[in-house]
């Protein structure tokens, strides 16, 4: 028997009994469709639909294995993308309006992950001219527009998809769970409450009634400023453009740089020899330190007096690589000289002294490099794209609160205070997406893949 329902209005003759087909006025009135699983062959493939015609889209194409599927959210059966003689096993997961990821009526078709089968199912559903292919990021954008998630959580979805290591994945998952949105919303509510009370006092100015005292306002501004600074620290990172940090091994010839280079990479990329000056060029290889992607660079040993032209060129390349380095592993066999020690102390944020023939172990070097990478080059608690977008907004919040704090205690102009607080409130609204523009949404969601 053909499916009549998945916990939704009955399906008869390819149309919803209780739902009239209405003209498509906005994108949210349209039903969209896309493959949600990765491209290529797999044991399981997923096709996702969202919109008012999601359940109607199945029509005669799906037949449940038992009963008619009435009232069910999960129904197994057969899908007929070609004809009645070539069925495909499938399971339908259904979400009524207000319960699924997008907030709209939606469903997923789980079946064999064969590209020809998935393409045939999509083609069969698209024969309904009121259903179209989804644009990149459109499912997540609908979740945002329907209020299921805010803008920071939308960016977290992309962060999860793009995560290349456990640390980045943990950051994105925490942000999706509200790790950034919740403190910002609490701050926003506190600022909004203060603004409402300030403006309520405007109606009673002649009676000299204050709804917010000067002392209370000062305490609130201090607390709010501390809160903003805490959030800004979450976004403080140097490596927000996606480029991998560069770790350069630097030092005199025969100091064990190439040996350490190979050990850090876990494979032999550079030639190791007891003859000084073996490395004449610099060698650059992508690698990982404790799961953090980076670029390791092995350089020619620094000599006080180059003997040949090729040595002079090698020295220049080594110096250039050190200049561009985020972390310099200064490799020495023995204790550094006084001049070397001064150089290390002058640039201690970048330079890590490594005694290659001493007692320093590879595990200790690994841990120190990983700690520096985490502390200096990656946001601890915020997806990079969110940090880039929101830093300017938080600066506006901080400046607005500071402008109020600079006002003299005597004769504070409450109208001016309210104006600055509105500036802070609007900037916070931009972060979570209470205020947005179409251009902003395009920039964010166009980076998503189709089906997300």
Give the domain extent around 339: 246-377
**Upper half-sphere CA count for residue 427 (Cβ side, 13 Å):** 22
Last residue of a domain, one of 110, 134, 158: 134
Residue 179 lies in a domain: no
Last residue of a domain, one of 99, 134, 169: 134
Confidence class for position 126, pLDDT limits 50, 70, 90: very high
Q: What is the mean pLDDT of residues 418-433?
A: 90
Residue 73 lies in a domain: yes
Q: Are 46 and 155 in contact (CB under 8 A)?
A: no
Confidence class for position 72, pLDDT limits 50, 70, 90: low
Q: Are residues 130 and 253 in the same domain?
A: no
Give pLDDT, residue 275.
46
3-class DSSP state for residue 251? Answer: coil
Query: CATH number for the domain including 64?
Result: 3.30.1360.120
Query: CATH number for the domain including 296?
Result: 3.40.50.300
Distance, CA of 407 to CA of 35 (rounded, Å): 57
Residue 59 lies in a domain: yes
Distance, CA of 310 to CA of 316 (rounded, Å): 10
With the C-alpha atoms ordered 112, 116, 118, 120, is the resulting torsion angle positive or negative?
A: negative
Last residue of a domain, one of 100, 134, 168: 134
pLDDT in tens, 129-146: 899 999 989 999 999 998
Residue 70 has pLDDT above 90, yes or no: no
Residue 48 lies in a domain: yes
Residue 58: Cβ within 10 Å count: 27
pLDDT greater at residue 312 or residue 278: 312
pLDDT greater at residue 1 or residue 357: 357
Residue 108 lies in a domain: yes
Residue 56 lies in a domain: yes
Number of domains forming the structure of the chain:
2
Of 59-63, 127-131, 268-272, 351-355, minimum mean pLDDT range: 268-272
**Upper half-sphere CA count for residue 336 (Cβ side, 13 Å):** 16
Q: What is the mean pLDDT of residues 249-276?
A: 75
Residue 82 lies in a domain: yes
Distance, CA of 101 to CA of 50 (rounded, Å): 9
Confidence class for position 299, pLDDT limits 50, 70, 90: confident
pLDDT in tens, 4-26: 444 433 332 332 223 333 332 34
Chain-centroid distance of CA 374 in Å reads 16
Residue 386 lies in a domain: no
DSSP 448: S
């Amino acid at each position: 028997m053909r499916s009549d329902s998945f916990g939704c209005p009955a399906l008869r003759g390819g149309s919803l009994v209780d739902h009239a087909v209405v003209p498509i006025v906005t994108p949210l009135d349209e039903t969209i469709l896309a493959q949600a699983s990765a491209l290529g062959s797999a044991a399981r493939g997923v096709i996702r639909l969202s919109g008012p015609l999601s359940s109607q889209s199945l029509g005669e194409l799906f037949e449940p294995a038992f009963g008619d599927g009435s009232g069910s959210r999960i129904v197994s059966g057969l899908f007929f993308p070609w004809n009645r003689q070539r069925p495909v096993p499938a399971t339908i997961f259904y979400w009524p309006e207000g319960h699924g990821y997008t907030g709209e009526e939606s469903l997923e078709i789980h079946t064999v992950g064969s590209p020809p089968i998935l393409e045939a199912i999509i083609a069969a559903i698209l024969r309904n001219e009121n259903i179209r292919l989804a644009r990149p990021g459109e499912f997540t954008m609908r979740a945002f527009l329907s209020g299921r998630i805010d803008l920071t959580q939308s960016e977290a979805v992309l962060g999860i998809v793009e995560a290349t290591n456990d640390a980045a994945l943990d950051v994105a998952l925490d942000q999706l769970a509200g790790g950034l949105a919740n403190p910002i919303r609490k701050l926003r509510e506190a600022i909004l409450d203060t603004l409402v009370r300030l403006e309520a006092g405007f109606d009673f100015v002649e009676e000299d009634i204050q709804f917010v005292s000067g002392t209370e306002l000062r305490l609130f501004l201090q607390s709010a400023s501390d809160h903003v600074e805490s959030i800004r620290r979450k976004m403080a990172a140097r490596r927000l453009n996606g480029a991998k940090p560069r770790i350069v091994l630097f030092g005199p010839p025969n100091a064990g740089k190439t040996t350490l280079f190979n050990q850090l990479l876990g494979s032999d990329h550079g030639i190791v020899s007891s003859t000084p000056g073996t490395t004449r060029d610099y060698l650059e290889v992508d690698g990982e330190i404790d799961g953090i992607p980076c670029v390791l660079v092995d350089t020619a040993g620094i000599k006080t007096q180059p003997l040949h032209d090729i040595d002079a060129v090698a020295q220049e390349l080594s110096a250039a690589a050190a200049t561009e380095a985020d972390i310099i592993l200064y490799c020495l066999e023995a204790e550094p000289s006084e001049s070397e020690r001064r150089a290390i102390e002058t640039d201690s944020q970048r330079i890590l002294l490594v005694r290659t023939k001493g007692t320093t172990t590879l595990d200790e070097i690994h841990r120190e490099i990983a700690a520096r990478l985490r502390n200096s080059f990656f946001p601890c608690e915020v997806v990079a794209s969110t940090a880039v977008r929101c830093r300017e907004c938080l600066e506006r919040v901080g400046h607005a609160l500071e402008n109020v704090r600079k006002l003299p205690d005597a004769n504070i102009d409450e109208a001016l205070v309210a104006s600055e607080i509105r500036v802070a409130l609007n900037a916070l609204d931009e972060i979570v997406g209470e205020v947005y523009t179409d251009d902003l949404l395009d920039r964010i969601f166009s980076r998503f893949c189709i089906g997300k």
